[in-house]
Structure 1
């Protein structure tokens, strides 16, 4: 018997969500505190994320008519097949129509609840169908939910639309040398091959000649959300990031949005509002902006800066920042 489907409109097309999945989502959502935390009144939602004090003290415009050398988007904790995931996907599509981006980083928990690849059509292909039709690529990493019933993640690695060449991998984007970005995708699960992965990361970052270096994985080093900061993960990764001047670490796991002021030259962003039920967030002394709402991000890459935008389901930008290059 075919499952009845709830229908949602994206870009004029009707897209189905299984009723069973929606009911499960609703039950989980009601069991969680979804309080939204906004920044303190004195805090500006726009700021400079930089380790260069000269840049940070100057007034730098966050809006420019100059076309970026590269534009990409990012999501995480999205694979629920929920109405909220479809709302984020709709906003992503509408943003793409206005300002196209080349690809999407997907920072884990790609398929809830256990990573089953049989759900990829309902939880990935259908929500992002308009983007996939435009050949927008998604580059995924494994979240903790993705390894439970997926042959320890192997099914997702072998699923071509996720573009994972391995459990951890790197790739470059950008045709202009000054705007080239090298991305380093990590498996941050506790059962990852950490010794081999850390050696690889250290060596790959050392060899990289890209002007911009961005690392992404599922778990946060620092977070004020439900799961919180992970000192063990920070001890493994933060020294490598500082050593090789990694500009940005992007993750999910905590369902909401939190951007930190640059720590030893690296900006850390939790971007977990892709569709799974939201978590309650607090804040820390290093927090630049925090808001628990369904959202995604875009990044405009220039020779001297990256402009980041966090975008809600209504298409409005609720946080902007500039990441500038660290002075050697």
Structure 2
């Protein structure tokens, strides 16, 4: 059994407390944002072209912020707080005036292969004031709350069979306690939320027909919590595609936006319990607009063409499934 001193160290090392960031609504009471993932390749693989179209759509929608679903810097994250890749893959690529809004960001598995502490460091805010990256946190925007979840530590293979990759697990060990605390804090935050819309953001997919398929650890541990507290949307990257999935006996809309640069040109895979409303295996991004009573999201390709639109009222979403 651990000693009292060991227990205190255990608790400290495994802290996963969710920080809350407040974001003020537009004067008209709506909330608009873009969602992009798996992007940081110094402009290559059409990253720059996607960024141009993001700037155009962001200007049209007058967005409030951008959500990044992780894998922010390829292939091995950042080497440190002074890594020029931060400017080459982020600051200079997303230079449009309309994109000079907060970027709320989670970490992906590729980010964990570099210096994780660098991406979390406030020193990056000094290089670009838009950058807001934490392990897990909440963005409170009045009508909506976005719960950002650090999903990489859930995935067993990164610990059990990392192959030739090295992961920066500082701040994670002991892993079991870290995840237990994260789940406890997330449960409390979801239970206390009074927002009209509840959105959870993570890097790894829960339900997807993309290359990686469902993340079984998230299906086991995270999905029941999302169902219990009636989360409306789960947004992720990891699969380099755009996807909208609806599953049997669930009101959650599963949305993948991981097509910020390199895309995998492959067909989606059948799913036993979920239906694919939309799948695109090229580069692109998505937008979402929320009001007190309605939600609308749109998927765009690398040319800025709207490929898939979906809109509903809050009442309809909660009663039609």
Q: State the TM-score, normalized to the length of structure 2.
A: 0.74
Q: Deviations over 1:25-66 (max 9, x none)?
A: xxxxxxxxxxxxxxxxxxxxxxxxxxxxxxxxxxxxxxxxxx
Q: Quick check: 1:115 aligned with 2:83?
A: no
Q: State the distance in 2 between where 1:306 and 1:196 align.
A: 31
| Residue 124 of structure 2 is aligned to residue 155 of structure 1 | no
Unaligned regions of 5+ residues in structure 1, if any? 1-66, 175-179
Cα RMSD for the two superposed structures: 1.9
The correspondence for 1:252, drawn from 237, 247, 251, is 237
> What's the CA shift string for 1:239-285, capped at 9, x where partnerless?
11111110000001010111101552111011111112325231434
- Taking the aligned partners of 1:279 and 1:220, their CA distance within structure 2 comes to 18
Residue 305 of structure 1 and its aligned partner are, at CA, apart by 1.8
Q: Is the 8 A contact 2:244 2:255 kept in 1?
A: yes
Deviation at 1:95, TM superposition (A): 1.2
In structure 1, the residue corresponding to 2:206 is in which secondary structure?
Answer: coil
Is 1:204 aligned to residue 189 of structure 2?
Answer: yes
Q: In the alignment, which of 277, 284, 307 is matched to residue 288 of structure 1? A: 277
Alpha-carbon separation, structure 1, partners of 2:68 and 2:187 = 22
CA contact (8 A) 1:254 1:279 kept: no
- Structure 1 runs (4+) deviating above 6 angstroms are none
SS at match of 1:129: coil
Contact persistence 1:185–1:215 (CA under 8 A): yes
Q: 1:45 is matched with which residue?
A: none
Give the deviation of 1:218 after TM superposition.
Answer: 0.3
Aligned mate of 2:59, from 84, 90, 97: 97
What is the Cα deviation at residue 190 of structure 1?
A: 2.7
Gaps of 5+ in 2: 1-27, 155-171, 173-177
What's the offset of the Cα at 1:69? 1.1
Native 8 Å contact 1:71 1:298 kept in 2? yes
In structure 2, do the counterparts of structure 1 residues 181 and 262 end up closer, same or farther at CA, with 3 Å as the change threshold?
farther
Secondary structure of the corresponding residue to residue 54 of structure 2? helix
* 2:111 is the counterpart of 1:146: yes
CA distance in 1, matches of 2:53, 2:100: 17
**Matches of 1:186 and 1:210, distance apart in 2:** 18
Q: Which residue of 1 aligns with 2:169?
A: none
Which of 139, 145, 164 is the aligned partner of 1:171?
139
What do residues 179-200 of structure 1 show as CA deviations (whole Å, max 9, x unaligned)?
A: x110100100036521111111
Would you say how many aligned residue pairs link Structure 1 and Structure 2?
253
Shift of the alpha carbon at 1:295? 0.6
String of CA shifts for 1:76-125, please: whole Å, max 9, x gaps. Answer: 00111215110110000111222211100000000111111511100000
Q: Relative to structure 1, is the Cα distance of residues 217 and 323 closer, same or farther in structure 2, using a 3 angstrom cutoff?
A: farther
Give the deviation of 1:224 after TM superposition.
Answer: 1.3
Please state whether the residue corresponding to 1:299 is helix, strand or coil: strand
- Normalised TM-score (structure 1): 0.73
Q: Do 1:297 and 1:310's aligned partners in 2 also have CA atoms closer than 8 Å?
A: yes
How far apart are the structure 1 equivalents of 2:132 and 2:61?
23
Distance 2:72 2:97 in 1: 16
1:160-184 Cα shifts (integer Å, max 9, x gaps): 24312x310001125xxxxx11010
Quote the residue 1:221 is aligned against. Answer: 206
The counterpart of 2:93, out of the listed 87, 103, 127, is: 127
User: 2:34·2:58 contact (CA, 8 Å) conserved in 1?
Assistant: no
User: Which structure would you say has the larger RCO, counting Cα contacts within 8 Å and 6 or more residues apart?
Assistant: 1
> Which residue of the other structure, out of 215, 219, 222, is the alignment partner of 1:230?
215
